[in-house]
Every structure is written in C-alpha cells, then in structure tokens.
C-alpha cells in the first residue's frame, strides 16, 4: 500500500499534534502516523504544568524564565533556543487557552500558576509562580485540546502504524515505511517533509515513569543510518517516582508545599539547596535523595527510599489541585497522602538528548549544522538543546508546543516548493527482511529476558550516579546483549496484532539508544546537570562546554564529534540554589 502526503508527522503526542496542526494551518496536506491512538500518547501522563512568564500571580519576565532554563541546564543549554522558547511559550499558552484548554483559574479569571522546581524570580532570588496548570492533568488536557483541533482541520491519522524505516537517499528524506498492526502489512509513505515527534526512550531503565511504548524507535532508526544523536549522556531522573513502581508524582506536589523527608523526619533539601529547598532542579534533588539513602538515612526495612510529606497541607489543596497523584498513592500503594507521607525514589523520566535540530526543527547531520532536507524533529525525540544538561520541570510541555509549532510551519513552507520523490516496492525490502528474520528465527533467546537484563543493567551502571568503571562494564554488557539479540525468536508467527513481533523490534531500538547513551556518558569526563560522574565530580567548562554528537560506526563502535554551545547573555557560573 502506498500513501502520499506533503507533510507526514511520526508520533501523535503533544509535539506531533502541535506540528500537524500548525502545518495544516499553513495549508499543507498533513498526515500523522502513530503507533498508538493519539490520545493514548505519553504527553497525557504529564501532570504538573506548562511554565510561561505570564505574571498572573506575581511579577515575572521571559528573561527570568530564560535565565532559569540556561542555569537549570547547567550552561549546556543553547541560549538562542532558550530565548526563542521563553518568549514564544507565553503566546503558546494563551493560544492553547483560546483553543479551549481548561486551565485552572485565579479568582480574577486569569490562568492560575504554581511554583515549580528551578523556576525563580529576580535571577534566582526566590521561587516564582510560573507553571500554568489544569489540576495535575495538564498534559492530558494539552493532548485532548490539540487532538480536537487536528480533527477540526481534517488531518489524516494512521493509527497503530509502527514506523520501521525512514527512507534517506542522497542525504534527502523521501518517505517512510510503517507496519500496520491490524493487518501485519507494510505500507509505503511518500512525503515532501517528515517530522519525527516520536517521544523518548525511558524503557531502557527498569524504574521509569515512561509508558511501555517509549522505546526510542526513531532515534535508533536514524542512528543506524549514520545520523548523529546529540547529548545522549544527559538523562533525567524525576525525583518523585512512587516507590518502588516509578509511577510519577508531579513536582507540582512540592510546588504546592510538599516536603521531602528522610528517616529522621528531616527536611534534608535544606542542606543541599538552602534558598529554594525542595524546589531545586531535578538532577540536584535526585542526587540528594540517593545520598540520603546511601548515608543510611533512608526509610523502610531496607532503608532504600525517602518520603514526600503532604500531610501539613489543607486537605482541599491536595484533593482539588493534586487529585490524580492522590489517587495513584491510594490505588498503587494503599497510602493516603492526607494522612501519611508517600514513599518516593527517583524514576527515569526524560531524555535531554536526541536527534539534533535547528531552531526550526530541521534535523542536522554534523557539527557544522548541515541540514538534512525534508527531515524535521520536535519534542522529546529532538535535541534543539533547550534543556542542556538538565530540563526544568514544565519546560517539556512548553517545548512540545513552541518547537512543534515551529517545525510544523517550516515543514509546510518547505513542502510548498518541494517535489515528491519516486519510491518503489523495493523500499520495503529492508523492513520486510528484518521482520522475516525475526519471524523465521529458530534462536533460543527470548525478548522479555533480554529486555529485563538490559533494563536492570542500565539501572545499575548508567543511572543517577556513574563511574568510568561501571560504564565500561555496561559497554561490554550491551555488546553481549546485542550479540544475543541476533538469536531471538518469537512464537507468534501471525499477521494481525502481532505484539510479540513489535516488542522484538522495539528491543532492537532500546539496545541502540542505550549504546549511544552509555558511550556518550563514558566519553564525557566531567559532571554536569543530570550526568554525574563520581570519578569526575567537577564541571569542566574548559574541556566540556560543548555538545556531544554520537555516531554509530559499526558493531558496538561509536565515534564522537562536538558542536559548540551557543552562548549569550548568561556567562557560565557555578550552579547554587
């Protein structure tokens, strides 16, 4: 089956839907290819809010938001991206509201805002109310609102289609191949512009807030084709995952006044970030929690977690502003946050790194910013380097809308003057071969076993704290897992809804992105943001104030190139809160 659309977006989360909507508004014929029904996309799990300097509760300025983003990113953030973002996210929030997003309101009718980690006023002097929210279901509301708008604009949706290949020839993106889950059939898609908005890859870790679908498919597909992945060593652990499940409890809980406590009942963040305490950036809070546990102040029989205490807050604040996380605690742990503190530990949450792009979402292939014509990326799959070495809470929802919009506008304008490329049945060949090889294999390895080994080993060797020794060990483990992956077999040989086949394909992607992450982390001999090397505890601006571009150059081999950080008005300084 062949399909043809001017702009094809891969992924139907916040970034994909924003891209599709703005491309359609530019007059392009747009299609969205998604492995999930759109409103099941993982943006729906985002809880806390979308940060924008609206100044509805107290004085705020986009310059302050830009400063917080750059400082939060440990000065690896490209400052041109932070500036574009801090300005445009204000319009984006107002536009979402005009589309009908049901934000919480202040008594005066304006959009309500809450405090959030790392967001400050007056260049870091005190926390600020910046996060616009719809209870603790902000991502869900963004997804529903954008999807309704896409339906209104008659955008074509191909739901439950798994992209298996991006067709890149002569350095140009020409189309893509996708597996239709319902039939097992491969489809060929012709496009003038392709936008990748396929989300992150938290499933490389055992404890994660990410859905089962977040397996880094498109990052891996481009990485295999010789395109680089940028800053993959920077992976964020969110401090408050429900222990031991990793289900997310929003930072909005701390924004509303929640306090982290150790076994002694101490508010331990006072030691690590005396000014903004529990609202320090995520990388700092996650490390502080691990240190408390490591030094013997953990809670429980195994002393292996800490507590999030909301018991001092008025019950109506908890029930009205944090209804979802209250329910999660009660359902999954049998803990009532009104009456007792909730067990928490960091959970793998967000990739700061990904497919390198320009400020308009154009994918770039090298350190000279050479653009791949017709190929775009936005959202968590992309790395425009807004987030640098550590993303501030709420900046991901802003990122989706701001850079999704930019990618959509640029892709539609590019498509106006571009032509379709000739594609033939032969372009289905590589995908068909890969699928047949998995189906016909008589190997003894099982997908679930390999995946569990990958997730546990990544947790043990490449998570919140890292050392050269542990990372080197993980390099060897990944080589062995990739070797064993060649010998996997599956029992379901059917065509319709073959989820076993899908999981086998996804395991391949997980292994590839893990390889890029681990090699990048081993290569960067400093600590910065979410990348904490215990053998190199200091940030090293002399040698490492630069972006990593990781290239796959053969089995288990990765080559590196570097791209300068775009500096600007904020000089790199030590990060204290």
In tens, the pLDDT along 155-194 reads 999 999 999 999 999 999 999 999 999 999 999 999 999 9
- Return the C-alpha torsion angle 451, 455, 456, 462, nearest 10: 140
- Residue 1 pLDDT > 90: no
Q: Is 34 annotated as ligand-binding?
A: yes
* Residue in the structure block whose two tokens are 């908890």: 318
Q: Is 78 annotated as ligand-binding?
A: no
- Distance, in Å, from the CA atom of 268 to the CA atom of 277, rounded to the nearest integer, reads 8
pLDDT band at 324 (very low <50, low <70, confident <90, very high): confident
- Averaged pLDDT for residues 221-235: 98
Q: Is 408 annotated as ligand-binding?
A: no
Contacts of 143 (CB under 8 A, 6+ apart): 13, 14, 17, 38, 39, 41, 43, 44
Mean pLDDT of the chain: 96
Does CATH place domain 242-346 in 1.10.1060.10? no
Q: Is 432 annotated as ligand-binding?
A: no
Q: Can you name the residues that pair with 351 across neighbouring β-strands?
A: 235
Tens digits of residue pLDDT in 531-576 = 999 999 999 999 999 999 999 998 889 999 999 999 999 999 999 8
Q: Is 44 annotated as ligand-binding?
A: yes
- Distance, in Å, from the CA atom of 100 to the CA atom of 141, rounded to the nearest integer, reads 9
| pLDDT value, residue 252 | 86
Structure tokens that stand for 408 in this block:
């959509």
Structure tokens that stand for 529 in this block:
């943001």
Contacts of 408 (CB under 8 A, 6+ apart): 7, 9, 18, 19, 20, 21, 22, 23, 24, 25, 26, 195
> Per CATH, which fold does 426-537 belong to?
Methane Monooxygenase Hydroxylase; Chain G, domain 1 (1.20.58)
- Residue 436 pLDDT > 90: yes
Structure tokens that stand for 75 in this block:
């000065």
DSSP-based three-state secondary structure for 120: strand
- Averaged pLDDT for residues 94-114: 97
DSSP string computed for 264-323: T---THHHH-TTTGGGS-HHHHHHHHHHHHHTT--BTTTT-BEEEE-TTS-HHHHHHHSH
Q: Is 48 annotated as ligand-binding?
A: yes
Percentage of residues in the chain having pLDDT higher than 90:
96
**For the chain, domain boundaries:** 242-346, 426-537
Residues recognised as catalytic: 282
Q: Is 40 annotated as ligand-binding?
A: yes
Q: Is 36 annotated as ligand-binding?
A: yes
DSSP string computed for 193-222: EEEE-----GGGSSSBSS-TT-S-HHHHHH
Q: Minimal CA–CA distance to 321: which of 255, 240, 377?
A: 255
- Distance, in Å, from the CA atom of 101 to the CA atom of 224, rounded to the nearest integer, reads 39
Q: Do 377 and 195 form a contact (C-beta atoms < 8 A)?
A: yes
Q: Minimal CA–CA distance to 418: which of 2, 3, 7?
A: 7
- Averaged pLDDT for residues 261-269: 97
| pLDDT value, residue 274 | 95
- Residue 397 pLDDT > 90: yes
Q: Is 575 annotated as ligand-binding?
A: no
Tens digits of residue pLDDT in 14-53 = 999 999 999 999 999 999 999 999 999 999 999 989 999 9
* Residue in the structure block whose two tokens are 């503190």: 341
| pLDDT value, residue 544 | 98
Tens digits of residue pLDDT in 371-388 = 999 999 999 999 999 999
DSSP-based three-state secondary structure for 467: coil
| pLDDT value, residue 325 | 87
Q: At what angle do helices 429-440 and 499-523 cross, to 10 degrees?
A: 110
Contacts of 33 (CB under 8 A, 6+ apart): 8, 9, 10, 11, 158, 161, 163, 176, 178, 189
Q: What's the pTM value of the predicted model, to 2 decimals? A: 0.95
Q: Do 174 and 423 form a contact (C-beta atoms < 8 A)?
A: yes
| pLDDT value, residue 554 | 86
- Distance, in Å, from the CA atom of 54 to the CA atom of 10, rounded to the nearest integer, reads 31
Q: Is 462 annotated as ligand-binding?
A: no
- 565 DSSP assignment: -
- Residue 506 pLDDT > 90: yes
| pLDDT value, residue 124 | 94
- Distance, in Å, from the CA atom of 11 to the CA atom of 126, rounded to the nearest integer, reads 38
Residue 112, judged by CB atoms within 10 A of its CB (0-12, 13-18, 19+), counts as buried
Q: Is 439 annotated as ligand-binding?
A: no
| pLDDT value, residue 292 | 96
- Residue 453 pLDDT > 90: yes
């Amino acid at each position: 089956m062949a399909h043809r659309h001017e702009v094809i977006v891969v992924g139907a989360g916040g970034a994909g839907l924003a891209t599709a909507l703005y491309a359609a508004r530019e007059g392009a014929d747009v299609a969205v290819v998604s492995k999930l029904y759109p409103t099941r996309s993982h943006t729906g799990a985002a809880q806390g809010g979308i940060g924008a300097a609206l100044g509805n509760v107290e004085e705020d300025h986009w310059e302050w938001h830009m400063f917080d983003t750059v400082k939060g990113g440990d000065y690896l953030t490209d400052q041109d991206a932070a500036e574009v973002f801090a300005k445009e996210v204000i319009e984006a929030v107002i536009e979402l509201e005009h589309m009908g997003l049901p934000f919480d309101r202040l008594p005066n009718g304006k959009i309500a805002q809450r405090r959030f980690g790392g967001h400050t006023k007056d260049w870091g002097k005190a926390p600020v109310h910046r996060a616009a929210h719809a209870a603790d279901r902000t991502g869900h509301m963004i997804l529903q609102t954008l999807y309704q708008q896409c339906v209104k604009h008659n955008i074509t949706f191909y739901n439950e289609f798994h992209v298996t290949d991006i067709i890149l020839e002569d350095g140009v993106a020409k189309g893509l191949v996708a597996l239709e889950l319902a039939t097992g059939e491969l489809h060929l898609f012709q496009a003038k512009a392709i936008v990748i908005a396929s989300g992150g890859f938290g499933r490389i870790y055992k404890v994660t807030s990410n859905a089962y679908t977040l397996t880094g498919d498109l990052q891996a597909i481009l990485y295999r084709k010789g395109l680089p992945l940028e800053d993959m060593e920077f992976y964020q652990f969110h401090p408050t995952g429900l222990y031991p499940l990793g289900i997310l409890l929003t930072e909005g809980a701390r924004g509303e006044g929640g306090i982290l406590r150790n076994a002694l009942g101490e508010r331990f963040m006072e030691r690590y970030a005396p000014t903004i305490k529990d609202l320090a950036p995520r990388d700092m809070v996650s490390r502080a929690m691990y240190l408390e546990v490591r030094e013997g102040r953990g809670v429980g029989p195994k002393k292996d977690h800490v507590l999030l205490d909301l018991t001092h807050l008025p019950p109506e604040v908890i029930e009205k502003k944090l209804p979802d996380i209250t329910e999660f605690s009660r359902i999954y742990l049998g803990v009532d946050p009104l009456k007792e503190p909730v067990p928490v530990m960091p959970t793998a949450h967000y990739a700061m790194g990904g497919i390198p792009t320009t400020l308009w979402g154009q994918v770039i292939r090298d350190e000279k910013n050479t653009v791949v014509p017709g190929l775009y990326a936005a959202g968590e799959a992309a790395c425009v380097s807004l987030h640098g070495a550590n993303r501030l809470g709420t900046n991901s929802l802003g990122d989706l809308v701001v850079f999704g919009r930019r990618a959509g506008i640029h892709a539609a304008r590019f498509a106006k003057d571009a032509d379709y490329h000739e594609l033939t049945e032969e372009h289905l060949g590589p995908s068909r071969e890969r699928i047949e090889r998995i189906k016909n294999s008589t190997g003894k390895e099982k997908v679930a076993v390999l995946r569990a080994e990958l997730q546990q080993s990544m947790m043990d060797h490449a998570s919140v704290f890292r050392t050269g020794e542990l990372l080197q060990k993980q390099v060897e483990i990944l080589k062995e897992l990739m070797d064993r992956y060649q010998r996997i077999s599956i029992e379901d040989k059917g065509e319709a809804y073959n989820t076993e086949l899908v999981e086998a394909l996804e395991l391949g992607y997980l292994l590839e992105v893990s390889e890029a992450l681990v090699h990048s982390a081993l290569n960067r001999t400093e600590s910065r943001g979410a990348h904490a090397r215990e053998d190199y505890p200091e940030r090293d601006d002399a040698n490492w104030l630069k972006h990593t571009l990781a290239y796959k150059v053969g089995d288990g081999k990765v080559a590196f190139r570097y791209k300068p950080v775009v500096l600007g008005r904020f000089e790199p300084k030590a990060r204290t809160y």
